[in-house]
Amino acid sequence: MITVDHLTKRYGARTVVSDVSFSCPPGSVTGFLGPNGAGKSTTLRSLVGLTVPTSGTATIAGRAHRDLPNAGRQVGVLLDAGAQHAGRTGRETLTLTALVLGVGAERVDEVLGQVGLAGRPAGTRVGSYSLGMRQRLGLAAALLGDPEVLVLDEPANGLDPEGIWWMRGLLRGFADRGGTVLLSSHQLREVEAVADQLVVIAGGRVVAQGSKTELLGRRGTVVRGPDRAVLARALQTAGITVVPGDGDALVADADPLAVGQAAAAAGAVLTELRQAGGEGLEELFRSLTGSADAATQQQPAVAA
Amino acid sequence: MSAATLESGPRRLTGPVTAPSLLRLTRVELRKSCDTRAGRWLLAVIALAAVATVALALFTGHDPLSLSDHLEFAQLATSLLLPVLGILLVTSEWSQRTAMTTFTLVPRRSRVLTAKVLAASVLALLGVAATLVTSAVAVVLTPVVTDGAQDWSLGAAELGQVVLLQLVYVLSGVAFGMLLLSSPLAIVLYFVLPTVFTILVSTVGALDWVADWLDLTTASAPVFDGGLDAQGWLQLATATALWLGLPMALGWLRVHRAEIS
């Protein structure tokens, strides 16, 4: 169980994370989505005690990370696969962690096999690992203590399609056995297949959260006209948020009736008006994060 | 750990979940200092330098040297190089970015820092033990390679002071590492700052008293020169406070507050 409650992190005047709240129940995979620089990593670092939040709390099983008796046995963390000592072998890296966790050497061999690094790669220095192998090693370290909770920041980075497929299976299995998984990504496709619920963050704020089916049910309207700027202004006047869609189309956050009425009221000509769909979460993700960016910049999403 | 958690949760490992003891963390830190090629090379270089200085003194010296003399030569090398190991014990966590893993596994950072200080102390003690063995070998070989006889003289007080000095130097290195969190910066400043300080206070006549009380080189000189007297102990204490106590206190605070990323 992970609970993030009204978490805010400011660096001077810059607010990186603003009033973020969400929770991850046991037995589920939560996808933490947002574009780069949205505040995902800062939120995850606050959760595991590497950053002190300005206000708010983040707890694991009801306790702050620093109050866990042996943190690595309760929560497996992979924040940056690049943060490994280049001069140590894969096995040595895990052995050091195993010593801190108080688990035996046989557990090191077990997780090495689990992530596909057994044999020759285990004895190779991390410096010569590919990014994908480092991700596997990082995941092995996270799994080493047999924790109940996994916190992973962009774990699919550097993995090939086969590796991504493998990781999905691993995380799914972990959650199905009652574990809690929180994984971040800036690529929706990576988490869409495995996540039960999604938390979408943009500009440091949560812009959408809920189960995958809930979020998929929320769709906008694709609208097109000869003059995009006029159309965008017409919809914004009616209080409808718009973001750029494919080509010269706009995606409006309202149903087709409301969009049509708004266009008619402003005398804007339409060439296309239809319910958005089929594109699934991708469009939602882009529209949500896009509109949040526009809102923070105090500018209309579409400028001429 | 109830049976229910074992069956329903993903947890399969048995045994209670307890915090890693300080002893365990110290062992981990010691292992970190010699489980890379760079670490092993540094240890080899230190050992080689100690043996080389002793050998040089043995083969080129005119007067027969005592165990105490040999130890002084051997310490010349290790007291210079062992602090680098102390520095790297801290700074490599930042240069290799392993601090992220280290502090995620042990969120109470003071425990990690304490383990590092203990590990550095063990390294300092092992260093003195190694130089002592080297010096003993040199004494044994004295009648073989020179005309002199074996001279085993070494006072317990002197040995104690040598150990203390080695600890001060290595821990001062750890302190510089904590304060600067960068290998090149910490190593350069660890060597340059005290040297500049020594030159400054010894060339400006009015600063003589500063040299006596705050310059570690000046304050530690009596150790190999008949031992420390009461005032000598006091002066070593003040100099140690400046070169070990102060940077360690500031460094400890810095690591505590640092954002690890």
B111 touches chain A (CB under 8 A): no
Mutate which: A93, A99, A100, vs B, most B CBs within 10 A: A100
According to DSSP, the residues that pair with A208 across neighbouring strands are A200
Domain containing B211 equals: 22-257
Q: Is A280 on the interface with B (CB under 8 A)?
A: no
Q: What pLDDT score does A12 carry?
A: 92
Residue B203 predicted with pLDDT over 80: yes
| Rounded Cα–Cα distance for residues B170 and B192 (Å) | 16
Residues in chain A with CB shorter than 8 Å from the CB of B32 are 96
**Does A221 lie at the interface with B, CB-CB under 8 angstroms?**
no
B107 interfacial to chain A (CB closer than 8 Å): yes
> Could you tell me how many CB contacts below 8 A there are between chain A and chain B?
114
Side-chain-side CA neighbours of A16 within 13 Å: the count stands at 18
From B15, B39, B106, residue closest to A100, measured CB to CB = B106
Structure tokens at A303: 């400028």
The DSSP H or E segment spanning A183 is: strand A180-185
Distance CA A54, CA B216 (A): 42
Alpha-carbon gap, residue B139 to B151, rounded angstroms: 7
Q: Which of A74, A100, A179 sits opposite B20 (nearest CB)?
A: A100
User: Which residue type is seen at A51?
Assistant: T
Evaluate whether residue B45 is within a structural domain: yes
pLDDT digits (tens, 9 = 90+) for A113-170: 999 999 999 999 999 999 999 999 999 999 999 999 999 999 998 899 999 999 999 9
- Measured between CA atoms, the residue of chain B closest to residue A101 is B20
* B100 falls within a domain: yes
Q: State the pLDDT at residue B248.
A: 98
| Residue B12 located in a structural domain | no
Residue B113 placed within a domain: yes
Give the total number of structural domains in chain B: 1
Tell me the nearest-neighbour CA distance from A52 into chain B, angstroms: 8
Query: At A33, which helix (H) or strand (E)?
Result: strand A28-33
pLDDT grade, residue B12 (50/70/90)? low
Q: How far is CA A103 from CA A85, A94, A107, A108, B28, in A?
A: 21, 11, 7, 8, 13
Q: Do the chains contact at A70 and B20, CB–CB below 8 Å?
A: yes
ipTM of the complex: 0.89
Does residue B85 lie in a domain region? Answer: yes
Interface of A with B in 52-71 (CB under 8 A): 52, 65-66, 68-71
Q: What is the mean pLDDT of chain B?
A: 89
A-facing residues of B in 195-224 (CB < 8 A) are none
Order of strands, edge to edge, in the sheet holding A28-33? A75-78, A149-153, A180-185, A28-33, A197-202, A205-211
Nearest to A234 by CA among A192, A276, A265, A202: A265
Q: Which residue's structure tokens are 């080509």?
A: A247
- Percentage of chain B modeled with pLDDT above 70: 94
Q: Is residue B182 part of a domain?
A: yes
Integer Cα distance of A158 and B135 in angstroms: 54
Tokens of A200: 């979408």
* pLDDT tens digits for range B176-196: 999 999 999 999 999 999 999
In a domain, B196, yes or no: yes
Contact across the interface for B24 and A80, Cβ inside 8 Å? no
User: Do B67 and B153 touch, CB atoms closer than 8 A?
Assistant: yes
Q: What's the pTM value of the predicted model, to 2 decimals?
A: 0.84
Contact A246, A279 (CB under 8 A): no
Where chain A has pLDDT below 50, the residues are: 278, 292-304
The residues near B154 (Cβ < 8 Å, ≥ 6 apart) are B66, B67, B68, B71
Q: Do A100 and B261 touch (CB under 8 A)?
A: no
pLDDT in tens, B226-244: 778 889 999 999 999 999 9
Q: Could you read off the pLDDT of B155-181 as tens digits, one per residue?
A: 888 899 999 999 999 999 999 999 999
In a domain, B3, yes or no: no
- Scan for tokens 């009425």, then name that residue: A261
Instruction: Determine the residue of chain A that is closest to B255 in CA distance.
Output: A50
